[in-house]
Chains A and B, each alone.
Chain A
Amino acid sequence: MLDARRPGLAHACAAVLRRDLTLAWRQRGDMVLPVLYALIVTSLFPFALGPESALLKRIAGGVVLVTVLLAMLLALDAMFRSDIEDGSLEQLMLAPQPLALMLGMKILAHWLATALPLIVVAPLLAGMLHLPAAVMPVLLTALLLATPLLSLLGGILVALTAGTRRSGMLLALMLLPLCVPVVIFAAGALAAAQEGLPWTAPIAWLGAALVMAVVLAPLACAAALRIALDS
């Protein structure tokens, strides 16, 4: 029998999502930082490689992809940090609702707060490096599939490092092997599109991986969190 005082699953999900988004919005400055970082890194490339537009055009897709990835890595560390510090993550673990679903909502909120602004500025970054306009939709599609994948994979790793004090470099070391396939397929789609070849196959692989990750990553994240905070 259902307890009438216990809020429903949808209600709990919405509450977690609303809380995290409100918190992110209250600290808008933190949301802008990854975007600024991406802008700075992208504008450094022409200085380092020379301003020839032929060269920049060739590397534009890859540079934007890697820059967005690094900017996300920068923000990944903070995914659960404040919740661990004020104890609300422990409360979430004790809650009657399934932890995996709640963490999935937290990851979604984190993706909305950090990756979405990056995707919005991605055309600007690509434009700075003269990416052909025809490739722009492919870049956006690849980013729309690759960034949630990275957020989900990153969520597992952040959960694993939840019990440690400083985890910035550690996260980078652990995320690298996981993001290699993501980068390969996203960059593969971009390279194919730039040469006028069909690019749907790598995008489809990314989509398949994303579907798998949406189902499995929150479960893995919950398991990892229970291990890392179990003392």
Chain B
Amino acid sequence: MANWIPLWLHKLSSPPVFYRVAGRLRPWAMALALLLGLVALYGGLVLAPPDYQQGDDYRIIFIHVPCAWMSLFIYGVMGAAAFIALVWRIKLAEVVAMASAPIGAAFTFITLVTGSLWGVRMWGTWWTWDARLTSELVLLFLYLGVIALHHSFEDRRQGARTAAFLALIGIVNVPIVHFSVNWWNTLHQGSTIKLLGPSTIAPSMIWPLLTMMIATKLYYLASLCGRVRSDLLALEGGKDWVRQIAEQEVRG
């Protein structure tokens, strides 16, 4: 009945098929991401009212919070792809896991920078050794470790599999780090937006936030497609489908 879904997924994991699908998906995802990002920025920076306590300074959350969500989301995607790559030895999953790492690291870095920009105005300091800040920093190191390990192998596939294993260790480690630093020191406020239960944020502020969240997700999708496409070309250099693409390019 619903047989076509696993079949389609199975087909999608073949490099040439994914290369074509990603190529078609990428411009749309990028355009939508830019559009939604601009709408969210307008809503957040112009339409949303200033906060009664923080004035206009709070507006950085329209960048900070979606990026923080993405930093964890991408780690989750990377871990899932790494698991698939190690268990079923699917080449595409290796490429997806490794292509996700730099994007996740970038989002983590943006989260840290915007957070410290906000912190200098609100807390009066660029950096404090608070639990959430520390776990985010550790997350950045996890990403950097995965990237560095991937590039330290000469054989790309072996590097990808090894780094995938490190990503899986990191998945186990993230909650442990989060729990231990929470126990150690906490200053950062708790979540305002909750999946379960009522959120404590004004509706005029939440819609730009959610729009930006969708925009960052789409940007990740677009960026991932681009990276995976070029990685697949490099990895499958000797294969027939790559030669056909190259010949098409030459013919124009």
| Residues of A162-217 contacting chain B, CB below 8 A | 163-164, 167, 170, 173-174, 176-178, 180-181, 184-185, 188
Number of interface residues of A (CB under 8 A): 25
Interface contact A180-B153, CB-CB below 8 Å: no
| Residues of B158-191 contacting chain A, CB below 8 A | 158, 161-162, 165-166, 169-170, 173, 176-177, 179-181, 183-184
Interface contact B165-A170, CB-CB below 8 Å: no
A220 at the interface (CB under 8 A from B): yes
Main secondary structure of the interface of B (DSSP, over half): helix
A161 at the interface (CB under 8 A from B): yes
Interface contact B181-A180, CB-CB below 8 Å: yes
Q: A161-B152, A228-B162 are in contact. Are A177 and B183 (CB under 8 A)?
A: no
Chain A residues whose C-beta falls within 8 Å of the C-beta of B170 in the assembled complex = 177
Q: Which residue in A173, A176, A227 is a CB contact (below 8 Å) of B165?
A: A227
Interface contact A220-B169, CB-CB below 8 Å: yes
CA distance A177 to B162 in the complex (A): 17
Q: A170-B149, A174-B149, A181-B177 are in contact. Are A160 and B165 (CB under 8 A)?
A: yes
Interface contact B153-A163, CB-CB below 8 Å: yes
CA distance A228 to B92 in the complex (A): 19
A219 at the interface (CB under 8 A from B): no
CA distance A103 to B169 in the complex (A): 18
Chain B residues whose C-beta falls within 8 Å of the C-beta of A223 in the assembled complex = 165
Q: A163-B162, A170-B148, A227-B165 are in contact. Are A177 and B141 (CB under 8 A)?
A: yes
Interface contact A231-B155, CB-CB below 8 Å: yes
A-B residue pairs, 10 tightest by C-beta: A181-B180, A174-B145, A164-B152, A177-B138, A184-B180, A177-B142, A173-B145, A177-B141, A184-B184, A228-B162
Can you list 29 A-B contacts with CB-CB less than 8 angstroms, sorted by A residue number?
A160-B149, A161-B149, A161-B162, A164-B152, A164-B153, A167-B152, A170-B145, A170-B149, A170-B152, A173-B141, A174-B145, A174-B149, A176-B141, A177-B145, A177-B173, A178-B169, A180-B134, A181-B177, A184-B183, A184-B184, A185-B180, A188-B183, A220-B169, A223-B165, A224-B162, A224-B165, A227-B86, A227-B158, A228-B158
